[in-house]
Structure 1
Amino acid sequence: MVSSFDQQTGYARADGLLPGAVASAVGYSSDGDLPRLHRGLPSPYLTFIISLDGPVVGGYTPEQATGERALRADVLAAGLHTAASYVVQPERQSGLQLAIYPPAVRRLLATPLGEITDQSWNAADLLGRSATRLWERVGNTEGWAERFAVLQGFLTHQLDRSDSRRQMRPELLEAWKWLVRHRGAGSIGGLSEHVLLSRRQVQTLFVREFGVGPKMFNRLLRYHRSIRLISARISEQHSIGDVVDDHPAGAAGVDLARIAAECGFADQSHLNRDFVAFTGVSPTAWIAEEFPNIVAGGHRNGDADDPAP
């Protein structure tokens, strides 16, 4: 289940940790890197992080992340944000990061995703002492396979103890699956007809459960796929030895117009507009900023290839 830790890339991956609930599970570790401000990207998942080398420190603006009002959490839960967040990456860091399917959040965290999207950071606010005990157990465990086993046991326990009150309406589950199957290209009218609810009902119920409406979720799906394809194309063309200090030319071989078409954008300008809205910078600026991490596999290990179980 767990791949061996790759010293060169700094990642280990646990495939099939909890099928149908966890899209991906990644262990990360680095030491000796220059501290920097990392741009956390929106995604169609809940992000769950257990930090083993001090708390995750960040915020929703660079000023908040680096100032007195910075958010701190040893165990972090972040929902479907529609703009980048910012995380202070220290010289030394390690931990586990999960991408959790939105319908599973209600059962794993005992609350719908829609109630934690805009204000979440510290998972202890959702799980109470359970979050602290999980952090302590993982922190006291040696080896990636053993750490993932602890996490798997915790999540399985959360699922086993969930009751009917944690089950979402079947129409909502089907609405989410339908949007994912269409990869951000499904119309709201088509969705409404498919689940036999009015457009207003679909909008209201979807926002209540997931924190964003179906139209915004479509945009997140397209954006997320564009990140995956950009990262894959760069990784195909470059190795870690290609990383240079100041000005990586990683964008040179990426056909953004083709990626826009593959992801369902009207054209490259449409991709650029959504990319700036979600990321805060253009695709080419983001590639230059993230080039070393992309080549190392950071954006291939963080999420699943397809956000559907």
Structure 2
Amino acid sequence: MASREFIRTVPHLNGMVISATGYRTTGQRPALHRGLPSPYLTVIFSLDGPIATGHTPQQATGTDAIRTDIIVGGLHQSPAHVVQPEHEAGIQLAVHPLAARALLGLPAAELTGELVVDGRDVFGGRAAELRERLCGLDRWEDRFDALSVYLRRRAADDRTAGSVRPEVAEAWAWLARHRGAGTIGGLSRHVALSERRLTSLFRAETGLTPKQAARLTRFQHAKTAVVRASAAGAPQDLARIAADCGYYDHSHLVRDFRQYTGASPTRWLAEECRNIQAGAHRPDGE
């Protein structure tokens, strides 16, 4: 009999980690899952075997799949395809991109261009030791605590990769406050930089332009609204969700769904129904 468990917490890391989700599934039919773009970096410690991912379903299930048991993923603009085996377990972190320097030792922009990076190449050898310790613990609470201690120590280490420019930090905060719906002109005036200069600094730090980050943030809120309606068994009113989330119209919401999920909202919901009902898509940081 199949079982699915998702346990979520918000680590006490001064907002650097938005959420930590422990997951364990057994007895499920092997399938492909779409790892969606989001405004957060992804870090996964597998407590089972290596995770196979790819830019396409063919790569994820083929001999050239990217396989690692510690995943670090940057901000991306299209879905990652992830193999879901019969049984799997792990902890997935949603990391604020401006915390990348403190927690990962590099700006988020350095992760751009790669679907995922082996966590050992980012965290170093101690990440493997941490993973082994996580595998040996029985309770999710203890695993979350061990991971939080490890990350706090990294953040406190003096060998961090510099600091984030205040204009970029304020620009990200402004986009978050406006839920991705503000104009780039308004943003550049707010941080007292030209649009060109702001775009250059923002992309150098995060790997995205402010416009791309705004679209991704807006989509995240729209996806959350779609998931909440589905989990509650309510009918999907995409036109209302589009208006509430700052889209020009329903067709623009569908356009973003197709870009970020590779499917229409209806098709994506049908494919993710089991995960949604099990709590895998509860919103981050809300």
TM-score, normalized by length of structure 2? 0.95
CA offsets 1:172-192 (integer angstroms, 9 cap, x no match): 111111111111111111111
Question: Letter of the aligned partner of 1:102 in structure 2?
Answer: P
CA distance in 2, matches of 1:13, 1:85: 22
Give distance in 1, aligned partners of 2:160 and 2:3. Answer: 45
Are 2:169 and 1:173 aligned?
A: yes
- Residues 17-55 of structure 1 deviation map (CA, whole Å, 9 limit, x = unaligned): 423111111110011000001111100000111001101
Q: Is the 8 A contact 1:103 1:168 kept in 2?
A: yes
Deviations 1:205-254 (A, max 9, x none): 1111001100000110111111111111111127xxxxxxxxxxxxxx11
Cα separation, 1, equivalents of 2:60 and 2:175: 33
Q: Residues 188 and 123 from structure 1, CA distance in 2 versus in 1: closer, same or farther, beyond 3 angstroms?
A: same
Q: Partner of 1:38: helix, strand, or coil?
A: strand
The one-letter amino acid of 1:261's match is: A
Residue 190 of structure 1: aligned partner = 186
The whole-number CA distance in structure 2 between the counterparts of 1:17 and 1:141 is: 20
User: Aligned match of 1:294 in 262, 276, 279?
Assistant: 276
Equivalence for 2:7 = 12
Report what 2:212 is aligned to: 216
CA RMSD of aligned residues (A): 1.5
Q: Determine whether 1:31 maps to 2:26.
A: yes
Alignment check: 8 A CA contact 1:235 1:295 kept: yes
2:134 counterpart of 1:153: no
**Aligned: 1:304 with 2:282:** no
Residue equivalent to 1:143: 139
CA contact (8 A) 1:17 1:25 kept: no
Residues 7-156 of structure 1: matches in 2 within 5 Å? 9-119=4-114, 120-156=116-152
Task: Call closer, same or farther: CA 1:260–1:162 in 2, change over 3 Å.
Answer: farther
Aligned residue among 196, 199, 213 for 1:200: 196
Aligned 1:241-280 pairs, distance under 5 A: 253-280=235-262
Q: 1:123 to 1:164 in 2, by over 3 A?
A: closer
Alpha-carbon deviation of 1:124? Answer: 1.3
In structure 2, C-alpha distance between the alignment counterparts of 1:28 and 1:17, rounded to whole Å? 20
Supply the AA of the counterpart residue of 1:189. G
CA drift of 1:163 comes to 5.2
Q: Which amino acid aligns with 1:198?
A: S
Q: How many residues align?
A: 284
- C-alpha distance in 2 between matches for 1:113 and 1:17: 21
Is contact 2:3–2:28 with CA below 8 Å preserved after alignment?
A: no
Residue identity matched to 2:240? R
Is the counterpart of residue 231 in structure 1 residue 227 in structure 2? yes
Instruction: Give the partner amino acid of 2:23.
Output: Y
Mean Cα displacement is larger for which, 209-218 or 156-165? 156-165
Deviation >3 Å, runs of 4+:
162-165
Task: Name the counterpart of 1:241.
Answer: none
Amino acid corresponding to residue 279 of structure 2 in structure 1: G
Contact conserved, 1:9 with 1:297, CA < 8 A, in 2?
Answer: no
Distance 1:236 1:66 in 2: 33
Structure 2: 5+ residue stretches without partners: none
Per-residue CA distance 1:253-307 (angstroms, 9 max, x = gap): 1111111111111010010111101111100110111111111111106x222xx
| Aligned partner of residue 18 in structure 2, secondary structure | strand
CA distance in 2, matches of 1:196, 1:275: 33
Taking the aligned partners of 1:106 and 1:225, their CA distance within structure 2 comes to 26
